Amino acid sequence: MLNFARCSGSRPVGCRYFSLLRDKNFIGGEWVAASSGKTFQVTNPVNDKVIGIAQDSTPEDAEKAIKVASGSFNMWADLPAKEKGIKLKSLLKLVNSHSDDLAKLITAECGKPLAEAKAEVMYSAGYLEWYAEEAKRIYGEVLAPPNNTRELVVLKEPIGVVGFITPWNFPLAMLVRKAAAALAAGCVCVARPAEDTPFSALALAALVEKAGFPAGTFNVVTSSRSQAGPIGQALCASPQVAGISFTGSTAVGKILYQQCANTVKRLGLELGGNASYIIFPTADLSRAVQGVMGSKFRNAGQACVATNRVLVHESVFDKFSSMLATAVKTQLVSGDGFDPAVNQGPLINEQQFQKVDGIVKDAVSKGARVVSGGGIHPTLKGRFYQPTVLSNITEDMKIYNEEIFGPICPLYKFYSEDEAVTIANSTRRGLANYFYSNDYAQVWRVAKRLESGMVGVNEGLISAAEAPFGGVKESGFGREGSRHGVDDYVHTKYVCFGGLQN
């Protein structure tokens, strides 16, 4: 039972398509309750009001979903690529025609401003469009044989059932990014979304059903946080699951990596980042400030590719920090994401809120200077943290080493290119880095030296369906988006045709 009239205080959200609101698991094309009979409440992070209930599933439910997915695999895998593409295009059409309602759902359960939620829906649609087209382009190879008695062929075959575990910060996009590539490749899937945001995944399932995907190809099993570990374990342990694709923290990614060893599964890990944002002396400071505003404060800093450390050359440090402080004070408005004036929502949950507050308090207690903000929002109730800029950061502070995942922007002064690159690379994370420079030689040099899967040059928002998204080091492996995004979902099979010449 869902009560969207209450999901934004007393104002109704006004979803037109109530068919998108689902409170059951989607298994084998049917909407079913958890076998435990238990449910859990999902709340709006703006005001903690209950927006609906979802099924508190257990490994038993995940195993049911794995079984039906497994049963549907051959039929989906054997469907001609063109037809898989047509199904994905139907889903794309439905996502586009329900974009307002999907966006409202995202804002209601994860708190991000409605404009950002709409951008997330469009971003998700971009992956559906890309993989609807890419389904036809998953090519094998014909190789030059060593002699004339053979022909050598390489086939790309779908790996089978894949398990998806997704986070709350982009509850639709993180699932679509995986599912679109997997379905295009011919795989079938079982998804377990985060406790905080199950409804976006269920809404996607409702559209998958409407698009006419065969039963069992796409399944969603929701649960409370207490069952996240056991369900994850069931997915990793099952010999019927060929691969796991996970987006989330490095800590959980490492657990899943270990759990997948026993069955030697294919694994895609999109883990946490620690992005540096370097401003060199030749940078266009106005553009660099706007770049940080997007990269740092989008979704109140709760993004894996969010800028974590801003490194500013000493020659432009004072000017840049003053420009940034002005932008933060004048451009950012905190509040309920359904208010069109708001561009900063709350932090997702109490745990995240305490973590961010702890990081700021630790930095300030060790000598950090508050340039702007610096604490809990003075007037808004709930988990709103003031957009904050800090300087005088030192290596012994938590903020130097940890992924902040909140609207906190620490500024560091550097004196040479070498020093900046060394600082940026002095982390076990390697998801994204950004830098601003108009020195042509420096641009190429630094782009090559930065140890991350993605680099933004004079650009703060770089993710797109056309490009490979993913990390190096402890930010994981595997890529989502682009033609590389199907690699996690296909086996390479070599077939040797012999005896061709008598």
Contact footprint for ligand NAP (CB under 6 A): 165-169, 174, 194-196, 225, 228-229, 232, 247-249, 252, 255, 270-273, 304, 403, 405, 431, 471
Compare residues 134 and 270 and give the one whose CB is closer to ligand NAP: 270
What does the alpha-carbon distance between residue 463 and residue 123 come to, in Å, rounded to a whole number? Answer: 9
What does the alpha-carbon distance between residue 304 and residue 345 come to, in Å, rounded to a whole number? Answer: 17
Q: What are residue 190's DSSP bridge partners?
A: 163, 219
Closest residue to ligand NAP using C-beta atoms: 232
Minimum distance of ligand NAP from residue 107's CB (angstroms): 17
Using DSSP's 3-state secondary structure scheme, residue 473 falls into: strand
Minimum distance of ligand NAP from residue 225's CB (angstroms): 4
Concerning whether 270 is annotated as a catalytic residue, the answer is: yes
Minimum distance of ligand NAP from residue 165's CB (angstroms): 5
Catalytic residue among 109, 270, 417, 451: 270
Q: Half-sphere exposure of residue 319, counting CA atoms within 13 Å on the CB side?
A: 12
Tokens of 5: 């009239």
C-alpha to C-alpha distances, 247 to 112, 158, 165, 272, nearest whole angstrom: 19, 21, 6, 8
Q: What are residue 497's DSSP bridge partners?
A: 151
Q: What is the DSSP letter of 227?
A: G
Is residue 334 within 8 Å of residue 386, measured between CB atoms?
Answer: yes
Compare residues 417 and 480 and give the one whose CB is closer to ligand NAP: 480
Compare residues 259 and 372 and give the one whose CB is closer to ligand NAP: 259
Q: What are residue 53's DSSP bridge partners?
A: 41
Name the maximum alpha-carbon separation found in the chain.
Answer: 87
Catalytic residue among 304, 409, 417, 474: 304
DSSP per-residue string spanning 242-305: EEEEEES-HHHHHHHHHHTTTTT-EEEEE----EEEEE-TTS-HHHHHHHHHHHHHGGGG-STT
Please work out, in degrees rounded to the nearest 5, the angle formed at the alpha carbon of residue 368 by the alpha carbons of 367 and 372.
Answer: 145
Minimum distance of ligand NAP from residue 249's CB (angstroms): 3
Compare residues 76 and 353 and give the one whose CB is closer to ligand NAP: 353
Compare residues 158 and 272 and give the one whose CB is closer to ligand NAP: 272
Concerning whether 304 is annotated as a catalytic residue, the answer is: yes
What does the alpha-carbon distance between residue 450 and residue 437 come to, in Å, rounded to a whole number? Answer: 14
Dihedral of alpha carbons 455, 456, 462, 466, sign:
negative
Minimum distance of ligand NAP from residue 232's CB (angstroms): 2
Compare residues 323 and 462 and give the one whose CB is closer to ligand NAP: 462
Minimum distance of ligand NAP from residue 253's CB (angstroms): 7
Active-site residue list: 270, 304
